[in-house]
Structure 1
Amino acid sequence: MEDSETPQRHGQLREEAANWFAIMRGPDAEIRRDEFEAWLARGAIHRLAYNRIAETFSNGRFLKEDCEGGLEKEPTQEHSPKPQRKASRSIGIVCATVSIIALCGAVLYLSTSSMRVSNPEKTQPIASASPSVGQPVQLATAFGEIRTFRLADGSKVTLDTDSVLLVAFGKAKRDLRLVRGRARFDVFHEARPFVVSAGNGRVTARGTIFDVSVGDDRRVTVRLIRGAVDIDRLGPTVNEKAAALRLTPGQQFSFKDGGQQQVSEKPEPDVADRQWPDGLREYENVRLDDLLAEANRYSVVPLLTASRDLGEIRVSGTYRITDPKRLAENLADLLGLALVTSSDSFLFAVSCTGYEGKNCQPPS
């Protein structure tokens, strides 16, 4: 029933999610954690309902008068007095527990939001639900691999090619460290902070989806897709910290040990950044050599050009760069180039002249 819940069921889920949000931020959180996780495990729509309650609370989207006005303004399909009184009792409990301001706004927000859920993607779970301190779980991807993992708390992380992430969940905090590569974090909301360390900085999730990458030059880049994150950086001395920075959706922040830091505004994250977990990249008027350099991060067999001038050809379009053979064939066809295929490379050339006897596909 995950993908076909009725409006009445949505109202019930909102109420259950609100109650669980209050419980998991209260003194009985650890006592009832097993019961809570069993509720989450019932389906993706339960996780979505809880996440939306928590996300709205974290972002503080609504004002106090939303609660003072009750649920009478709620534009929902549930018009009968009985469901409204039931929801009001639930909201009263939660407001008293975690803040009248935020959670009443969360229910108002949920009532106007779609609860449709697509089929959950297949993900790889972490073996241990509670890695012990000092013994973090290591997640890694091979060269050319992009893989999504389901974490023990319900969060998801997608690792780009040749990436390493350490995960250590304790009772008080969820600690992760990106050692190398790139990761996208889709954070499940709960009382324990979700903190990702990279380089000399730490990213604390505030109900969010975000990317963190560690470049070959050790520069760390944080890109916020949704929600909010706080970034703390260590200063020149052990006990010194730079001022914390909060990003909003579309912003990107990069920093490096002893190097320059930069915040850039990108109100609408480009398709290339949004779609990298699917192996897709969108390019607009880029050099062929630059596109091939990106593709070679995923290919054991390199894609090369026979001459420097071919590498200067400008290319636009959306390509699946994790499939080097198909990418090479598509580019050769698009650009009218010959493609010489061998066990050592995919080589772009002007024609098959000089490559007689080799597996050369002439220009189309």
Structure 2
Amino acid sequence: MNEDNDTPKRPGNLRDEAAEWFAIMRGPDADARREEFEAWLARGALHRTAYNKIAETFSIGKGLKEDAPDDADSAAPSPTSQKPGKLKMAGLALGLVGAAAALYLGVVSPGKLKKDGPEIANSSTTGGTSSQLQSKLGEIREVQLPDGSHVTLDTDSLVLTKFDRDLRDVRLVRGRARFNVEKDNRPFVVAAGNGTITALGTSFDVGLARDERVTVQLFEGSVDVRVRRDLSAAETPVRLAPGQQLIFRAEKAAAPIQVTNAPVTDRRWPEGVREYDGVRLGDVLGEANRYATGPILVAAADVSDRKVSGTYRIRDVERLAENLADMLRLALIRGNNQLLLVKTCPSPRKENCTPPS
């Protein structure tokens, strides 16, 4: 049997699928989707590895507390509910993620980092609520949380939350989110990669890139950032002031954590607006294509290296392509669910090509 012969072609797609299944199997649709989930796992080793890595990331480190709640395993998908013919591969996959089974109980309590792993917040806490918040491709979505705080999800982002009488815990699984936090006696803690951000009545962004890079940018108030490099205890927190940012990797990092000034050019992304000052066209298109079902492409490297300045509505991809073509005096070719920026229209010129202005 050839496994993973239909692995997604788009880089990062398998990771996104794993993250979505992780969230689904923690939610109310777990039983209804169990057979579909186990079939997805059984497609091959790459699928099981991707799922296991999401579980690892979610636990903020690879070690789980030995005295996790006794009912931890009960929340993991159970192979006994499967038909016998589907047990073999799914059982192997579940074995791989068995060490992370307690994660299904709820969001990790990011403030409780211990040397042998994080404690797990039990979802059965009295008065506790857990939820999954997700934005679609091209969508920017704002949601009010149970405490009155607001989270804005950038395109194709996923956030898990758990609120109870003692804690306000959030996990950024993928994408980017802005948090406007209401003051409360309970700590508000956002986990991303192998770090946590504790808010002190504040406004800040957290982004988790496909290369596992975590970016924290602070706009108001203050936050404490803790980064866990390995299975040891998290380091002393780094406190950010407004206008500062901190970047770290969700894997082990040898380089020291550095605080720098946050760029002001992308603060309006919740409005779908982006400001550029001498940025490569290729980098602008890379960001715009995160919102697009049909990408904007360039025909040559020297075109991609042209500099872009100005303020643009990044989500309106066709209008953006038209504005860029006009500003850089490029031709724009429409077709095949994509937009192509070129120096001139090919000869003979067709109707789908708008020449440089």
Structure 1 residue 237 corresponds to structure 2 residue 226: no
Task: Kindly provide the amino acid, as one letter, of the partner of residue 241 in structure 1.
Answer: A
Equivalent position SS for 2:161: strand
Structure 1 residue 262 corresponds to structure 2 residue 253: no
**Kept in 1: contact 2:277–2:309 (CA 8 A):** yes
Counterpart selection for 2:342 from 334, 349, 354:
349
Q: 2:304 and 2:348 mapped to 1: Cα distance?
A: 19
Q: Cα distance 1:293–1:355, how it changes in 2: closer, same or farther (>3 A)?
A: farther
Equivalent position SS for 2:182: coil
1:160, distance to aligned residue in structure 2 (A): 0.7
Gaps of 5+ in 1: 1-130
Gaps of 5+ in 2: 1-122
**Kept in 2: contact 1:271–1:281 (CA 8 A):** no
Structure 1 residue 325 corresponds to structure 2 residue 318: yes
Q: 1:132 and 1:300 mapped to 2: Cα distance?
A: 40
Which residue does the alignment assign to 1:214? Answer: 208
Greater Rg, structure 1 or structure 2?
A: 1
Which residue does the alignment assign to 1:156? Answer: 150
Identity %: 50
Which residue does the alignment assign to 1:335? Answer: 328
- Compute the TM-score of the two structures, normalised by the length of structure 1: 0.60
1:273, distance to aligned residue in structure 2 (A): 2.8
Q: 2:229 and 2:346 mapped to 1: Cα distance?
A: 59
* 1:317-361 CA distance string (max 9 Å, x none): 111111101101111111111111114211111222236334111
**Kept in 2: contact 1:210–1:226 (CA 8 A):** yes
Q: 2:319 and 2:155 mapped to 1: Cα distance?
A: 18
Task: Kindly provide the amino acid, as one letter, of the partner of residue 340 in structure 2.
Answer: L
Q: Cα distance 1:142–1:167, how it changes in 2: closer, same or farther (>3 A)?
A: same
Structure 1 residue 289 corresponds to structure 2 residue 294: no
**Kept in 1: contact 2:129–2:164 (CA 8 A):** no
Q: Cα distance 1:261–1:211, how it changes in 2: closer, same or farther (>3 A)?
A: farther
* 1:211-261 CA distance string (max 9 Å, x none): 1111111121111111001112334225x2211111111111111221134
State the superposition RMSD in angstroms: 1.8
Q: 1:308 and 1:244 mapped to 2: Cα distance?
A: 42
Which residue does the alignment assign to 2:239? Answer: 246
Which residue does the alignment assign to 1:136? Answer: 130
- Compute the TM-score of the two structures, normalised by the length of structure 2: 0.62
* 1:161-212 CA distance string (max 9 Å, x none): 1110001100101010001111100001111111111111111111110111
**Kept in 2: contact 1:352–1:360 (CA 8 A):** yes
Equivalent position SS for 1:296: helix
Map 1:265-284; keep pairs closer than 5 Å.
265-266=260-261, 269-284=262-277
**Kept in 1: contact 2:325–2:341 (CA 8 A):** yes
Which residue does the alignment assign to 1:181? Answer: 175
Which residue does the alignment assign to 1:166? Answer: 160
Q: 2:270 and 2:257 mapped to 1: Cα distance?
A: 24
Map 1:118-133; keep pairs closer than 5 Å.
none
Structure 1 residue 311 corresponds to structure 2 residue 311: no
Q: 1:291 and 1:169 mapped to 2: Cα distance?
A: 37
Which residue does the alignment assign to 1:198? Answer: 192
